[in-house]
Amino acid sequence: MEVEASFRVASRINCKEVPYCNPICNYRTLNLRFPYHHRLPHLSNASVYTLKSCYCKAVAKESSTEVVEKGRKMYSHDIKLSSLTALCPLDGRYWAKVKELALFMSEYGLIRFRVLVEVKWLLKLSQIPEIPEVPSFSKDTETYLQGLIDGFSLDDAMEVKKIEKVTNHDVKAVEYFLKQKCQSHPEIGKVVEFFHFACTSEDINNLAHALMLKEALSMVMIPAMDEVISAISDMAMENAHIPMLSRTHGQPASPTTLGKEMAIFAFRLSWERQDISEVKILGKFAGAVGNYNAHLVACPDINWPQVAEEFVTSLGIDFNPYVPQIEPHDYMAKLFHSIIQFNNILVDFDRDIWGYISLGYFKQITKAGEIGSSTMPHKVNPIDFENSEGNLGVANGGLSHLSMKLPISRWQRDLTDSTVLRNMGVGLAHSLLAYRNALMGIGKLQVNEASLSEDLNHTWEVLAEPIQTVMRRYGVPEPYEKLKEVTRGRVVTQESMREFIKNLDIPGDAKMMLLNLTPQTYVGAAAELAKNIKTAINLVNGLTA
């Protein structure tokens, strides 16, 4: 019986045999195989259950294999990869915001940097007099080899992947690709077997991963971090003088300024950004287990540790002399932990801004056509900060696993790091997406000074701190206790506070200063701290201006 026909028949039957339905066609299975009830919204849930039960009877004679096969046919599609079918939203919904990372952190980027390392190593060998088998290349040949790096394209990467289908080894596929490219070259063709000379795959991979991170950080991640820090610094300076009620433990506390609170985040983020930029990215090039075994057998008169250090540092990577087969990834753990901390600080910022929007301290600039809620037309939700916070959480989850797992490898190495390393770009991309969302949110903020001032006007009790401090200076006994008696748990107004000040036995100028004090003016050095934030950040970054 056809599914549609079964449905039509079932819709006319009041099935009373639900308990006896074929167990292989239970309610849960039919939720997947029998979606047609969505076309009959007038039916109750009970009716739908009855219809499904009748459908169970219609297929009761089918074997479990037949049922599964029908289900596969019903829901199987030849789905091609697109922005709508990508399993990871970074490659779909969010692609436009993170695509610049793909040049470095994708598999294309990994293959491209593998090619770079292999080519540079051949060039290095040609410069070692003790290896006469690889003579010095002519300028034209060096240019040709450099062109393999500079001109490496997506088509080239696809060719490497085709070779990999045969070799079932990704690094060997790169070696064979380069041999094919250079086989007919008059100079390189004579020495093509020196591609990958004395190398283990990890000699190539660890340097490729190091270069991926180095370029992604310098070209994308750190500039994005700088944008966030700069935007928050601008908020700090623009709002340096706008007084704001502090809330320690969620309760009214000594006033600050909006700008100074933003300056705190800018300064904290700048510290972490600086730590990230100072992490030394390490590389090794010491062979199968880090001892230059094959090197010394083939060419025993060469100082291979020195050659390896020269080669690694020539790529802009710091050299790690003590390694097993892999570079142990400790620097990666340090780097990812630092990014996690940067992200944690930004989560703190996102949540504070979310709260300030909720309090009415910020309005959000609206955009024509945008909808905040599908049912409440008035809403302008802080979605950018919420999206930022959510993606920071996803990023930190991935980066945390990387930082905890990568430094651990059984004996000289196991392969668990290989598949994990392919996810470096995921943590970085979710971080980048979060930075972009935060920046978008900041761009929509508009300070609501009236709301900030109104809050302060209702919290005159915050002046209890300066009053009792002045009382201490002039020897008034039990100043804290006296203020506690008139403020804690009581409604405090401007009048009641001034009445208390007038009755104090303190010098007249001190009394006048307290009488002129308001919650709006009791902000200490907050404004100056906010105005000087960029100078402070420059000092953190080692700059003088």
> Average pLDDT for residues 101-122, to the nearest whole number?
97
Write down all domains in the chain, each with its CATH number in brackets: 107-199 (1.10.275.10), 207-286+299-449 (1.20.200.10), 460-518 (1.10.40.30)
Q: Which residues of 480-512 are buried (b: 16+ CB within 10 A; e: fewer)?
A: eebbeeebeeeebeeeebbebbeebebeeeebe
- Report the 10 Å Cβ neighbour count for 41: 6
- Least confidently predicted of 5-9, 157-161, 199-203: 5-9
Alpha helices in 360-448 (DSSP H): 383-405, 416-421, 424-444
> Average pLDDT for residues 517-537, to the nearest whole number?
96
Question: How many angstroms separate the CA atoms of 311 and 319, rounded?
Answer: 9
Question: How many angstroms separate the CA atoms of 234 and 526, rounded?
Answer: 15
Q: Give yes or no for residue 191 having a pLDDT over 60.
A: yes
Residue 488 has a pLDDT of 87
Residue 379 has a pLDDT of 54
Instruction: Please list, in sequence order, all residues whose beta carbon lies within 8 angstroms of the beta carbon of residue 501, skipping any fewer than 6 positions away.
Output: 467, 511, 514, 515
How many DSSP H helices and E strands does the chain contain?
A: 26, 6
Residue 526 has a pLDDT of 97
Q: What is the pLDDT of residues 330-373, one digit of tens each?
A: 999 999 999 999 999 999 999 999 999 999 999 998 776 665 65
Identified catalytic residue from 249, 358, 388, 458: 249
**Whole-number mean pLDDT of the chain?**
88
Q: Give yes or no for residue 2 having a pLDDT over 70.
A: no
- Listed residue (134, 132, 137) closest to 148, CA to CA: 137
Q: With cut-offs at 50, 70 and 90, classify the pLDDT of residue 376.
A: low
Q: What is the pLDDT of residues 425-482, one digit of tens each?
A: 999 999 999 999 999 999 999 999 999 999 999 999 999 999 999 999 999 999 999 9
Q: With cut-offs at 50, 70 and 90, classify the pLDDT of residue 490.
A: confident
Residue 40 has a pLDDT of 44
Q: Give yes or no for residue 83 having a pLDDT over 90.
A: no
Q: Give yes or no for residue 251 having a pLDDT over 90.
A: yes
Identified catalytic residue from 136, 218, 373, 458: 373
> How remote is the C-alpha of 144 from its chain's centroid?
38
> How remote is the C-alpha of 380 from its chain's centroid?
25
**% of the chain surpassing 70 pLDDT:** 84
Question: Catalytic residue at 373?
Answer: yes
β-pairing, 362-364 vs 445-447, is antiparallel
- Least confidently predicted of 27-36, 107-116, 141-150, 279-288: 27-36
Q: What is the pLDDT of residues 493-520, one digit of tens each?
A: 999 999 999 999 999 999 999 999 999 9
Q: With cut-offs at 50, 70 and 90, classify the pLDDT of residue 38.
A: very low
**% of the chain surpassing 90 pLDDT:** 78
Could you please report the per-residue DSSP string of 454-466?
HHHHT-GGGGHHH
Residue 82 has a pLDDT of 84
Residue 68 has a pLDDT of 65
Residue 80 has a pLDDT of 84
> Average pLDDT for residues 516-534, to the nearest whole number?
96
- Listed residue (348, 422, 359) closest to 385, CA to CA: 348
> Average pLDDT for residues 68-83, to the nearest whole number?
70
Question: How many angstroms separate the CA atoms of 318 and 280, rounded?
Answer: 6
Residue 66 has a pLDDT of 72
- Listed residue (265, 243, 238) closest to 256, CA to CA: 243
> Average pLDDT for residues 309-334, to the nearest whole number?
98
| CA separation, residue 262 to residues 121, 232, 355, 525 (Å) | 49, 6, 14, 14
Q: Give yes or no for residue 39 having a pLDDT over 80.
A: no
Residue 374 has a pLDDT of 54
Q: Give yes or no for residue 312 having a pLDDT over 90.
A: yes
Residue 418 has a pLDDT of 94
Residue 370 has a pLDDT of 66
Q: Are the beta carbons of 53 and 45 closer than 8 angstroms?
A: no
Decide which of 265 and 14 is more confident: 265
Cα angle value 291/295/298 (rounded, 5°): 140
> Average pLDDT for residues 62-66, to the nearest whole number?
66
| pTM for this predicted structure | 0.84
Q: With cut-offs at 50, 70 and 90, classify the pLDDT of residue 380.
A: confident
Residue 467 has a pLDDT of 96
Q: With cut-offs at 50, 70 and 90, classify the pLDDT of residue 272.
A: very high
- Least confidently predicted of 45-54, 129-138, 249-258: 45-54
| Token pair 């490729």: residue | 208
> Average pLDDT for residues 43-68, to the nearest whole number?
54
Tokens of 427: 């943590």
Q: With cut-offs at 50, 70 and 90, classify the pLDDT of residue 15.
A: very low
